Structures are given as C-alpha cells and as structure tokens.
Structure 1
Amino acid sequence: MTMNRKPARIAVIVSSALALALGVLGGPSAAFAAPLPGTTHETQMGMHATGFDEAVAKAHGYRIVTYANGDQQSVPIDPQSKLPKSLIVHPQPAKSAAGPERQARPAAANTDYNEVWGNCGRSWIRVAQTGTDQVGIVSGFSNTPTIAYFWIWDVLLSDQNGTSHQTYDGAIFDDKATHVWLGLTQHGYTYDYVYNGGATLIDGTICVSGHPDVSIYL
C-alpha cells in the first residue's frame, strides 16, 4: 500500500467529511430501522457509493455535477482531460445485485470469512483463532472504481461477555486497503462484523462499507 503524500491538512478534512457521512448514515441499527410511513426503504448490502466530497474532487482535478433527475457524478474539470468520470450516484441507489449479505466461504481450521460486493467494490472480513480465547481479525476493501485517498474502518466484536470496537483510519493511494487486529480476547460463540466504514476516492466519491460478518466458536 502506498501512502499518500498530500498535505496532512487535506487528509484531516477528508477524514472529517467521511466521518460525517458515516455518522449520518449510521451503523446497522440505522440501516435496518423501520422506514417512516410513505417512504421507500432500500438496503444496500455491499460497498456502495453514497455521495461525493467536493474538496477532494477539486484537489484531484474533478468537479461534481448534478443532473436534472438528481443524479450526481464526478467529472474532470478540464473537458480535454483523460481522467475517467466517476460512477453515477442516484438520490436513492438501487439495491445491490450482490445477493444476500451473508456469503461465508468454507475455510480451514477455526476461521471464518465473508465478503460483500456493491457498486464501490468489495468489503470483507476474516476472523481466526490464534490461541486460547484469542482471535485475530483482518478486514478491508478492494476493487474500488478508482484510487482511494482516505479510509475509516470500525469492526464490532461480540461474544458472551459483551461487545467492543476495533477501529482504524489512514491516508492511502490505492484501490484496496487492509488492516490487522491481533491479540483480541473472545469467549464461546463469536459474532464479528464491519460495523461502519468507508473510503473517499480521489474523484470525491464516498464509498460505504456494507456489513460483512463472521462467526466462530472458541
């Protein structure tokens, strides 16, 4: 992973904008809350685009345009530029065609893996037992439409003793990112998942993680 060399001030702005976007969207409790009467309720399963960060877009030669139907897109400021346009973000994005969120794959030993896909790529998580009542968690994303500039990740761990959060954030310059948490204590049946997370792409697109989940018995 190549670290971005842009000024730290911009990274702080991006972090704040992404955190605000994730805060507005909320965690799983908000995502699955009952819709208000007369509203359309849609659930995004995989990593998906929710909007744009105009400051990041401008810093990388893009501007955000809004079409007559309310759709938004990040496009090059210079019409002669060869920079690619972003994906189009709809006011109410259609549900991802990735299928059910739970797509666990069989794995060796005491470990579990899951991934979810959306129009912003793949978000994933793996848990593995590393010792007596000890686990390691590795999670991240990949296959974003263009290079990501900053990311924030929050994994929730739960077991018979309660819950805890493992978090990470940082600047990047890649279409993928991974972080490892080691030395975590869990007991009995575990249920761990990406509680909240996202990445800001260089064209300003804000991608939100989705909630891949894993479970093992210790």
Structure 2
Amino acid sequence: MRGKKLAGVFAVLLATVAGGATVLGSPAAASTPATYTLQRGMNTTGFDAKVAAAHGYKIVTYADGSQQSVPVNPSDKSKKPSTIVHPQSGVNLYTAQDTVYGDCGYSFIESDIVGTHKVNIRSGYKVKETSVYHGWSIYLSDNNGDSYQGNSGANASASWSKWWDNLTQVGSSFEEVRTSSYALLIDGEVCTSGGPYVLLYVS
C-alpha cells in the first residue's frame, strides 16, 4: 500500500514539473477545476539564547552541530521544542507543511522533526460555517510500515487543529490527512478533506 501511494505521489510531482503547464480535460472538468496549493512559510534560521532563557527555554547543540530550542523544564506541557536547525545551511530543513483548499474551506498538515526518529504533527481545518462535529484521521508511512492517528468530537467553531507529539517515524516518512476526514457544518454540509500530505526524511 505504501509503495503504491508513494509511487503515485512522485509520479504526479514529476508530471507537473515536466509538463510545466496545466492539462485541460473535458469542458465540464475545466469549468470546475480542483485547487491544490502547496504553501511554504517562514523558516527558522537561528536562535536568540537570551530571549529563549527569559521565557523558559534553552538552546541545545547536538553532536552534528544542529541546534534546537527546548523547554528548561521538560515537564512543562505548555512549552514545545522548536524544530531543528541544520548547521550547514542555517535554514530549518526539518519542517514540512501542506494545505489543500476547496469550496467549503481548507485542511492542512504540518510535520516538525523534533529529535532522532521523532516528529510532531499538527493538522486541522478552517471552514466557511461553524463546525458542529468532525472526524479526523492521519495516515503515516515510514521504513517500519503504516500507522494512523485520529481525533473526533463535537466542535463549535469554524476552525480546529490538534498536535500529535513525539510520534516515531524512521527514514522516509509520508504523512497524509485521509480523505475520509470531514467536518460537519451547522447548515448540514459535510465538508471533506482534500488530503494534504508531506514527505520527510526522519533520521
């Protein structure tokens, strides 16, 4: 399952790069195009140790020269470790984020490598009306096989997100919001995720 999924993902990416243009199908399909957007945001390029210390964090340096900001008190659940900054590039190479838009809102997934074979994943949605309930499922695949994370429950807002912390992922990591994930809106609409995904290498 994982092999077919990854092969399909890379085939789409290669076709998009090679083609360099939008492929038009039938007039009916062209009149209602699907929208897919890959967002790249701000990147961590360094740390300010004084600011970190003033707010309960410390900057640690690992054997390979990589740096990370971590809570001074590991039991303080209100504080989370930062992503790791690679020593050679000075740019955070360890965060991936994807957002897919549709006619009733958007869904997203973000993955941060926070340690050896460890990732924090955040996923959620923003919809056009108040969501009263949602069912959310994350599919993960790595060198050790497949796994899932999920959440479901009542809501009273047009947006929702959740962190899944310290998940073990080894090597090539494919992380995706399953297209069975949905938000039930106050007007009765079922707003379904378009399936955003990220690809990482977790060493």
Q: TM-score with structure 1 length normalisation? A: 0.53
Residue 163 (str. 1) matches residue 146 (str. 2):
yes
Which one-letter code corresponds to 2:170 in the other structure?
A: H
Quote the residue 2:40 is aligned against. 105
Residue 199 (str. 1) matches residue 183 (str. 2):
yes
Quote the residue 1:58 is aligned against. none
Residue 217 (str. 1) matches residue 195 (str. 2):
no
Contact 2:182 2:192 in 1 (8 A): yes
CA, structure 1 residues 182+139, in 2 after alignment: closer, same or farther (shift >3 Å)? same
Residue 154 (str. 1) matches residue 89 (str. 2):
no
Quote the residue 1:47 is aligned against. none
1:106 Cα deviation from its structure 2 partner: 5.3
Residue 118 (str. 1) matches residue 102 (str. 2):
yes
Aligned counterparts, 1:51-200, within 5 A: 95-98=32-35, 101=36, 103-105=38-40, 108=43, 109=92, 110-142=94-126, 144-195=127-178, 196-200=180-184
Which one-letter code corresponds to 1:214 in the other structure?
A: V
Question: RMSD of aligned C-alpha atoms?
Answer: 2.1
Which one-letter code corresponds to 1:188 in the other structure?
A: G
Runs of 4+ in 1 over 6 A off after TM superposition: none
Contact 1:123 1:209 in 2 (8 A): yes
Contact 2:112 2:120 in 1 (8 A): yes
Question: Between Structure 1 and Structure 2, which shows a larger proportion of strand residues?
Answer: 2
CA, structure 1 residues 106+117, in 2 after alignment: closer, same or farther (shift >3 Å)? same
Q: Which runs of 5+ in 2 are unaligned?
A: 9-28, 44-91
Quote the residue 2:48 is aligned against. none
CA, structure 1 residues 207+111, in 2 after alignment: closer, same or farther (shift >3 Å)? same
Query: What is the rounded CA distance, in whole Å, between the counterparts of 1:156 and 1:125 in structure 2?
Result: 11
CA, structure 1 residues 188+102, in 2 after alignment: closer, same or farther (shift >3 Å)? farther
Query: What is the rounded CA distance, in whole Å, between the counterparts of 1:149 and 1:188 in structure 2?
Result: 38
Contact 1:153 1:169 in 2 (8 A): yes
Contact 2:37 2:101 in 1 (8 A): no
Q: Which runs of 5+ in 1 are unaligned?
A: 1-28, 33-91
Contact 2:120 2:164 in 1 (8 A): yes
Which one-letter code corresponds to 1:194 in the other structure?
A: V
Query: What is the rounded CA distance, in whole Å, between the counterparts of 1:95 and 1:137 in structure 2?
Result: 32
The alignment covers a number of residue pairs equal to 125
Q: Percent identity?
A: 34
Query: What is the rounded CA distance, in whole Å, between the counterparts of 2:121 and 2:34 in structure 1?
Result: 27
Q: TM-score with structure 2 length normalisation? A: 0.57
Q: Which has the higher contact order (CA 8 A, sep 6+)?
A: 1
Which one-letter code corresponds to 1:198 in the other structure?
A: Y
